[in-house]
Structures are given as structure tokens and as C-alpha cells.
């Protein structure tokens, strides 16, 4: 909305001093927002680093993202040997150590199918931040970067169980449950 408004003001006031002032104000606001976003990310990651180190997960692969439409509430996901942990941090309301909740993943099944082309593509795309679940005898991989627990936006069936082994299945996307 603000970008559209700024573009409209710049278009109608082009060639006038107002346009120049609007462009400078827009550049200043966007730069301040970018600076704040980087500072907020640093503050959240610093707290996450401390909390994860205390849990013995100091070297765990992780990522942090702001929750939609804000930079005050953040989500941190870290991978563990048996799944992953998720922590949320409000820069306004939270004090003390960051708390994480653990979630299981079928890591053994994922290890068994890691050489399948669809799995390798997904691991390359999401850098290994995925959950593996067995649903009705099929292995479903979910991208942990998009969505919130337990509903992730991108879910793919990549294998089916047959005689105690995983057999490659034509990859197909499964719609989110929400």
C-alpha cells in the first residue's frame, strides 16, 4: 500500500520538488526498515544461538524468519538428529532464554531415500530443512521454511513402502491441510 501510494505521488508530482522529496522520504524509510530488519534478525539469532548451545545444538543447521507482515515476531528452526526444534521470539514481549519445542521426523526413512532424484532436488532446494512423515504407507517430505507447524505449504510424496523397503514413487505435491 505504501509503495503504491509513494509511486502515485511520484508520478503525479513528477518534475516538481514534491516528487523529489517523496522519493527521498521513500528511500529513507525503506533504508530504515531494512536496517531495523537486519538488527532484529541479529538480536533473535543471538538469543537462539545461546538457547541452542545450552541444548547441545550449538552447531545445528538453522534458519530464522520473521512471521508474516512484521519484524517483531520471529521463528527459528533448527535441525536435530531426530527431527527439528522450533522457537518463536517476540522482540517486544519475550524476556529470558528462548524456548524451543521439539518435533519428530522420520529421519531413518529419509536416510534410506536420500539418493532418489526427487529427494536430492528437494534437499538442494530447501537446504535440508524438511520434515519426513509416513502417511498411509507413503513418505511425505515437507519444506519447513514455508508455513507453520503442523501445516506446511509444500508437501511432497516421494516414495511408498513395499515389503519393508522404500520404493521411488512419482513425486506429487500434496495440498496443505488448512
State residue 151's pLDDT score.
87
Q: Label residue 3 by pLDDT band (50, 70, 90).
A: confident
pLDDT average, residue stretch 128-136: 95
pLDDT at 154 over 90: yes
pLDDT at 176 over 90: no
- Would you list the DSSP string of 111-155? HHTTTSHHHHHHHHHHTT-EEEEEETTEEEEEETTSEETTEES-E
Backbone angles phi, psi at 99, to 5 degrees: -105, 140
pLDDT at 91 over 90: yes
- What is the C-alpha separation between 76 and 134, in angstroms, rounded? 25
CA distances from 126 to 83, 122, 160 (A): 15, 6, 22
State residue 2's pLDDT score.
67
Whether the Cβ atoms of residue 140 and residue 174 lie closer than 8 Å to each other:
yes
Backbone angles phi, psi at 24, to 5 degrees: -65, -45
pLDDT tens-digit readout, 46-76 = 999 999 999 999 999 999 999 988 899 999 9
State residue 174's pLDDT score.
92
Q: Label residue 178 by pLDDT band (50, 70, 90).
A: low
Residue 63: Cβ-neighbour burial (10 angstroms; 0-12, 13-18, 19+): middle
Q: Label residue 152 by pLDDT band (50, 70, 90).
A: very high
pLDDT at 1 over 70: no
Quote the mean pLDDT of the chain.
91
pLDDT at 112 over 70: yes
Domain boundaries of the chain, sorted by first residue: 2-101, 105-174
Amino acid at each position: 500500500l505504501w509503495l503504491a501510494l509513494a509511486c502515485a505521488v511520484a508520478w503525479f508530482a513528477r518534475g516538481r520538488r514534491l516528487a523529489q522529496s517523496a522519493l527521498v522520504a521513500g528511500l529513507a524509510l525503506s533504508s530504515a526498515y531494512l536496517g531495523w530488519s537486519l538488527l532484529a534478525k541479529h538480536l533473535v539469532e543471538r538469543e537462539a544461538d545461546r538457547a541452542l548451545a545450552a541444548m547441545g545444538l550449538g552447531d545445528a543447521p538453522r534458519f530464522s524468519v520473521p512471521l508474516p507482515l512484521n519484524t517483531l515476531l520471529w521463528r527459528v528452526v533448527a535441525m536435530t538428529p531426530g527431527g527439528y526444534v522450533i522457537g518463536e521470539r517476540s522482540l517486544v514481549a519475550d524476556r529470558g532464554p528462548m524456548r524451543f519445542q521439539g518435533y519428530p521426523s522420520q529421519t531413518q526413512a529419509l536416510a534410506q531415500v536420500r539418493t532418489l532424484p526427487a529427494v536430492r532436488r528437494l534437499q538442494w532446494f530447501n537446504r535440508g530443512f524438511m520434515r519426513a512423515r509416513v502417511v498411509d504407507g507413503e513418505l511425505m517430505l515437507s519444506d519447513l521454511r514455508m508455513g507453520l507447524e503442523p501445516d506446511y505449504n509444500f508437501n511432497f510424496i516421494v516414495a511408498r513402502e513395499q515389503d519393508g523397503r522404500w520404493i521411488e514413487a512419482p513425486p506429487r505435491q500434496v495440498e496443505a491441510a488448512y
